[in-house]
Copies of this chain bind each other. A is one copy, B any other.
């Protein structure tokens, strides 16, 4: 028969005249339990709707099989792809994922770190907010020897395990490409420099400029949150300079799209008058007309790597995180019409 509320191992034991230990072992397939007993237990389990209590089990084993994930925003293309990969990979290892989002608020991030900390997650995977410069709220994880992996946006000074895209190279290649295509006055629209990825891309940008003997004009470089409104405002400023830049390296595709919108509205031809490169290879970059040259970051692979690293940190009792791992996943410049006159003409 079926009890209404919680049906436990004890109940099963009682019903079968066994001890809870035997039932527990039967359920976990312990070799010392006779097949007959296992069958009987299984039968009762099925008809009673017994619900294994993972909480109790986790408590007893101090093993929650849960990984925490803390991201700025779930719904951004890059992030959601990474999450997809992480979830798939963790599932292979029998781990579950608890997902939190900071909405790019440092306050929220701090709060969630504590929530996750006390939730007994076995590891934490993080992409911090745009404004996280002080990473000390993550220290509790290091202190407690709980694996902590940063990805994408990562602490520069703070030592930790990191999975990053090659943002320096991304910035460098984008800019070099623009220069090769003939751009000279190149604008750079990027995110807050408090964030590692934007610092690196900026550095790559500068390097390519210097290498080509070009000057980085202060008035062409802008840092702010990369949404459409901000991007359009920046375009206004650039436009007000008298002459619009003939190249734009935008640090995400939303911004690149906004620049394109602005250019079209003002009769600036793309790529003839201005060449544009975005970042992240958002699905929109490919289908807009002209298609936008962008940097592919391989977010799925990045997510897989983060999950793999996390699992090896957890499973590897041998080398318990004595040496810090830092992986850089390569990027790829995907050249499209927005920056290439020859491509634009062939169609």
Among the listed stretches A17-25, A83-91, A268-276, which one makes contact with chain B, having 4 or more residues with CB under 8 Å of it? A83-91
B62 contacts A87, C-beta separation under 8 Å: no
Q: How far is the CA of A98 from the CA of B53 in the complex (A)?
A: 16
Q: Which residues of chain B have C-beta atoms less than 8 A from A101's C-beta?
A: 84, 87-88
Closest chain B CB from A126 CB (angstroms): 15
**CB within 8 Å of B: which of A42-70?**
49, 51-56, 58-59, 62, 64, 66
A115 touches B144 (CB 8 A): no
Instruction: Report the nearest B residue to A76, measured CB to CB.
Output: B80
* Given A51-B117, A288-B287, A91:B100 Cβ within 8 A: yes
For the complex, what is the distance from the CA of A143 to the CA of B87, rounded to whole Å? 28
The answer to whether A55 touches B58, judged by C-beta atoms less than 8 angstroms apart, is yes
In the bound complex, what is the Cα–Cα distance between A6 and B97 (angstroms)?
23
Complex Cα–Cα for A103 and B300 (A): 14
A59-B59, A98-B97, A288-B287 known; A53+B120 contact, CB < 8 A = yes
Q: B56, B83, B96: which contacts A75 (Cβ < 8 A)?
A: B83
How far is A101 from B62 in the complex, measured between Cα atoms in Å? 26
Provided the pairs A97-B98, A119-B54 are in contact, do residues A287 and B257 lie with their beta carbons within 8 angstroms? yes
Q: Please determine whether A75 and B80 come into contact, CB atoms closer than 8 angstroms.
A: yes
Q: How far is the CB of A300 from chain B (nearest CB, A)?
A: 9
Given the known interface contacts A96-B100, A117-B51, A119-B54, the answer about A87 and B74 at a Cβ–Cβ threshold of 8 Å is yes
A55 contacts which chain B residues (CB < 8 A)?
55, 58-59, 64, 119-120
Asked if A283 lies at the interface with its beta carbon under 8 angstroms from chain B, I say yes
Residues on the B chain within 8 Å of A97, using CB: 98-100
Set B54, B59, B119, B144: member contacting A96, Cβ < 8 A:
B119
Is the CB of A107 closer than 8 A to any CB of chain B? no
Q: Is A81 an interface residue (CB 8 A)?
A: yes
Nearest Cβ on chain B to A292's Cβ, whole angstroms: 10
Closest to A114 in B: B52
- Give A41 Cβ to nearest chain B Cβ, in Å: 16
Asked, given contacts A81-B75, A88-B103, whether A59 binds B56 with beta carbons under 8 Å apart, the answer is yes
Do A144 and B51 touch across chains, with their CB atoms under 8 A apart? yes
Q: Does A118 contact B (CB under 8 A)?
A: yes
Q: Are B289 and A49 in contact (CB-based, < 8 A)?
A: no
Asked if A38 is at the interface of the complex by the 8 Å CB criterion, the answer is no
Closest 5 CB pairs of A and B: A52-B118, A80-B80, A75-B80, A289-B289, A75-B84
Question: Can you report 12 A-B residue pairs in the complex whose CB atoms are below 8 A from each other?
Answer: A51-B118, A51-B144, A53-B59, A53-B118, A55-B58, A74-B87, A84-B101, A87-B100, A97-B99, A98-B99, A284-B287, A288-B288
Which residues of A are in contact with B by a Cβ distance under 8 Å? 6, 49, 51-56, 58-59, 62, 64, 66, 73-75, 77, 80-81, 83-84, 87-88, 91, 96-101, 103, 115, 117-120, 140, 143-144, 257, 283-284, 287-289
14 other A-B residue contacts (CB within 8 Å) besides A51-B118, A52-B118, A75-B84? A49-B143, A51-B117, A53-B120, A54-B118, A55-B119, A73-B84, A84-B101, A87-B99, A87-B101, A96-B115, A97-B100, A98-B99, A99-B99, A283-B284
